Amino acid sequence: MYNDERSRKTNVQRRDFIRIMAGAGLATACTPMRIGLKIYPREFDEHTELVDETLRAFVLTIVPGMPEDDADLTRQFHDPLFRLDAHCAYLASDLCSRAERITGDHRFATLAYEDRASVVADGLAAGGLTTRLYSAAAYVTQIACYASIYDDDKGCVITGFDGQFNIQRMAGVRDPHLDLFRDITSAGTGNPV
Amino acid sequence: MKHNDYDAIIIGSGFGAAPPALRLARAGLRVLVLEKGPEIVPRRDFRQTQDPRYLLQWFRGVDGPRFGMTYIEGLGGGSGFYEMVALRAPSLAFEQVVNGRRLWPRELDRDSMDPWYERAEEMMRVKQIRPEAVPASGRVFARMLSDLGHSCERARYAESGCINSGYCVTGCIYNAKMGPLTTYIPQARDAGAEYRCGATVQQVAPMREGGYRLDVVYGADGGTERLTAPLVILAAGTVGTARLLLESRRPLRLPSDHLGRNIAWNGGAKAAGLLATDLPDGDMFVGRTHAGVICYDFLESHRLTLSPVKAMPLMAMAALRLRAEEGDPFWGQPHVDLMRQFRQRILAIYAMGLAPPAARLRIDRRGRISTELKMSPELTEHYRRAKKLMNGLLERRGCRPLHLESVNREGMPHDAEHFGTAHQVGSCRMADRAEDGVCDVTGQVHGHPNLFIADGSAVPSSLAVNPCLTITANSERITAGILERLGVPSNGHVPERRTAAGPSSA
């Protein structure tokens, strides 16, 4: 598939990238971002596993330490809320072409973390629409991973976020210092005049 | 056109709408409340989740290059989702002067507002947090301030039976959060007020014979209705009320140049730091969402209050890029190393100050709204001093300030300093003279008898604290004035039916 260099270079087609959306900006989400027209190899349309493994590697570059077997690792890219689905193939293609230029190996997913980080940094610094696409992808990835938006019970292993109903309540509080407030309040009521 | 027979129609159902709905219904008036958003039943509808799709059922936003406002469309307005902190505004808030003019009407100050605060606090069961319930983030903040010789107050909350589950801002599934949704609205319904959700008022127009005509659209299907009432109270919030009046400007012949302008928002400066090694852990995820304490020590010197912030992951990630150093990447291993400390070792601080009103709401020909903010020298200086103060406190106590960068809805850094808030007030501010504001001290729109504004849009200044209690208290005051005009005794009870058509504009 993608290893067929000649095929990769000859089978190109135009893709309309209008209306990419990156925004999980909550209250103000869902405003389109215009990306314009791009070109990428057909393989990335024909082989979804290539796209998926590349995007999984992207996620593990943005948030290293996430469980690699997490079933939701790339779900944000296909979530209609974020409107990135139509642009996954292009993103994967761009990661691979940058990988080839920077490391000599186009298989982004198999690169070491440092090399993948160099590729992502290159994409983020590319300017214009590419920077916007990489930023958007990183943004929704961080939201999905750190906030565990697809599984209320899972939480996040990196931050120790518990998810719902895993609340430690106040028993988990250390260093109570209950006398502190009696010593340092100026009004005592919380409502100074 | 359907015939209707309401004495009073209230537009909106949040903090500003709650007092008139309850008091007027109890006074025997036929009251209709129109809420644009859906019905909300806390135990049925709320979830403990970080799923943005869940929140976007109710959360709305209006944005611009430098200023964005978040608000709620749903029964009870923001009362289902606020942090339940309920503080009276300090005296200084009422004494603010801009361009030689006192922002608040002459007769309003903290003393005159205190009875109304008391009434609102009683309704919403406001009480000071117990020391043992202060979350760890609040305690470490208090410790830091104590070490630096400053004071810290335990804050006050509208709650009953809070178990500190930590999901205040996604809606309390235990019904422990008090506010219009859980206090005023059930009582208003018991008193006979009718609530209609999914009802968008498109325009308000005066009628020749007195009173007002409302064009209402229901739900997505767009069923329409024209309602009339002798008394109309606007309480759709700083965005909703301003938008409605902007869309009604022609029929109402609103002369005010202040409509949609003069929005204040407490300034909204943030800082965060890695805790000094000798300070105990905080905890972003344990205890109620608001961190339990507030510092008033810098109110006179810097015109602001300081509070620690417990950021839920979704809110933090959606709003900010966080870096240990300015040149660090906002992603990858350096960022993960920082995020591993997010829960226990990062202290975030929020400054709420008496920043001057500076933002405005714009509406274009297609009905799309946006914001505009012009940075005045005063606002620039307020923000600079707030950031300097917070980072200075962190550094003096041995903490390491972090680099925060606000991002837009695409995850890109804003081109210029950008303020995001849910504390917006003042788009239709009260003022003694028509040339200085949209409504008078009684809440009545200048030149429009029996058309009142009772929500945050009437509040003319930043408050240095969360505005919910002040909005409610001011609405209680405005409602009492309306009842007085109607000749209703102060106990609110009338033995016979009354209508709002009686009193004149006075």
Task: Report the greatest alpha carbon distance in chain A.
Answer: 77
Query: What is the value of ipTM here, to two decimals?
Result: 0.90
- The answer to whether residue B499 scores a pLDDT higher than 90 is no
At B503, is the pLDDT very low, low, confident or very high (cuts 50, 70, 90)?
very low
Q: H-helix or E-strand containing B250?
A: helix B249-252
B82 token code pair: 């606020």
Query: Each residue of A95-122: pLDDT tens digit?
Result: 999 999 999 999 999 999 999 999 999 9
Q: For residue B435, give the nearest of B178, B262, B318, B298 by alpha carbon.
A: B262
**Per-residue pLDDT at A164:** 74
Query: Each residue of A43-64: pLDDT tens digit?
Result: 777 778 999 999 999 999 999 9
Pair B347, B264: CB distance under 8 Å: no
Mean pLDDT of B319-347: 95
Lowest mean pLDDT among A28-32, B39-43, B206-210, B249-253: A28-32
* Nearest chain A Cα distance for residue B234, angstroms: 23
- The answer to whether residue B81 scores a pLDDT higher than 90 is yes
Pair B50, B318: CB distance under 8 Å: no
At A191, is the pLDDT very low, low, confident or very high (cuts 50, 70, 90)?
confident
Q: Is B439 helix (H, G, I), strand (E, B) or coil?
A: strand
Q: For residue B215, give the nearest of B260, B252, B256 by alpha carbon.
A: B252
Mean pLDDT of B147-168: 92
Nearest 5°: the CA angle B102, B106, B107 is 145
- As a whole number of Å, the end-to-end CA separation of chain A is 73
- The answer to whether residue B493 scores a pLDDT higher than 70 is no
Q: Do A181 and B55 touch (CB under 8 A)?
A: no
Candidates B286, B344, B465, partner chain A, best to mutate (most A CBs within 10 A):
B286
Q: Do B50 and A149 touch (CB under 8 A)?
A: yes
Q: Do A189 and B156 touch (CB under 8 A)?
A: yes
- The answer to whether residue B279 scores a pLDDT higher than 90 is yes
At A7, is the pLDDT very low, low, confident or very high (cuts 50, 70, 90)?
very low
**Per-residue pLDDT at B257:** 84
* Nearest chain B Cα distance for residue A12, angstroms: 28
- The answer to whether residue A20 scores a pLDDT higher than 60 is no
**B111 Cβ partners below 8 Å, 6+ apart?**
none
Q: For residue B196, give the nearest of B17, B1, B427, B69 by alpha carbon.
A: B17
From chain B, the residues in CB contact with A129 under 8 A are none
Q: Do A136 and B410 touch (CB under 8 A)?
A: yes
Q: For residue B428, give the nearest of B114, B6, B11 by alpha carbon.
A: B11
For B152, which of A29, A158, A184 is closest by C-beta distance? A184
**Per-residue pLDDT at B437:** 95
Q: Distance (Å, rounded) from C-alpha A185 to C-alpha B13?
A: 36
Q: Distance (Å, rounded) from C-alpha B303 to C-alpha B444?
A: 30
Q: Which residues pair with B293 in a beta bridge?
A: B154
Q: Do A181 and B407 touch (CB under 8 A)?
A: no
Q: Which residues 116-175 in chain A show a CB within 8 A of chain B?
A: 117, 120-121, 131-132, 135-136, 138-140, 142-143, 146-150, 152, 156, 158-165, 167-170, 172-175
At A34, is the pLDDT very low, low, confident or very high (cuts 50, 70, 90)?
very low
Q: Distance (Å, rounded) from C-alpha B313 to C-alpha A192?
A: 32
From chain B, the residues in CB contact with A177 under 8 A are 139, 142-143, 280
**Per-residue pLDDT at B400:** 97
- The answer to whether residue A125 scores a pLDDT higher than 70 is yes
- The answer to whether residue B412 scores a pLDDT higher than 50 is yes
Name the burial class of residue B204, with classes exposed (0-12), middle (13-18) and buried (19+) by CB atoms within 10 angstroms of its CB: buried
**Per-residue pLDDT at B213:** 96
Residue A128: closest C-alpha in chain B = B412
**B334 Cβ partners below 8 Å, 6+ apart?**
B323, B324, B328
Mean pLDDT of B337-350: 96
Query: Each residue of B99-118: pLDDT tens digit?
Result: 999 999 999 999 999 999 99
Q: Do B52 and A29 touch (CB under 8 A)?
A: yes
**Per-residue pLDDT at A75:** 97
What is chain B's mean pLDDT, rounded?
92
**Per-residue pLDDT at B233:** 98
Q: Which residues pair with B200 in a beta bridge?
A: B217
Q: Is B311 helix (H, G, I), strand (E, B) or coil?
A: coil
Residue A63: closest C-alpha in chain B = B332
Q: For residue A97, give the nearest of A9, A29, A179, A23 by alpha carbon.
A: A9
Lowest mean pLDDT among A7-11, A94-98, B28-32, B108-112: A7-11
Q: For residue A43, give the nearest of A6, A17, A74 by alpha carbon.
A: A6
**Per-residue pLDDT at A27:** 37
Residue A130: closest C-alpha in chain B = B412
| DSSP string across B123-153 | HTTEEEPPGGGS-HHHHHHHHHHHHTT---E
Work out whether strand B231-234 and strand B451-453 pair parallel, antiparallel, or are unpaired.
parallel
Percent of chain B's residues with pLDDT above 70: 95
Contacts 24+ apart (CB under 8 A), B326-332: B326/B403, B328/B403, B329/A117, B329/A121, B330/A138, B330/B405, B331/A61, B331/A62, B331/A63, B331/A120, B331/A138, B331/A142, B332/A61, B332/A62, B332/A64, B332/A117, B332/A120
Pair B232, B451: CB distance under 8 Å: yes
Mean pLDDT of B450-475: 98
Query: Each residue of A61-98: pLDDT tens digit?
Result: 999 999 999 999 999 999 999 999 989 999 999 999 99
Q: Distance (Å, rounded) from C-alpha A57 to C-alpha A109?
A: 5
Q: Do B336 and A64 touch (CB under 8 A)?
A: yes
Q: Distance (Å, rounded) from C-alpha B22 to C-alpha B186?
A: 9
At A162, is the pLDDT very low, low, confident or very high (cuts 50, 70, 90)?
confident
Q: Distance (Å, rounded) from C-alpha A82 to C-alpha A94?
A: 19
At B488, is the pLDDT very low, low, confident or very high (cuts 50, 70, 90)?
confident
**B377 Cβ partners below 8 Å, 6+ apart?**
none
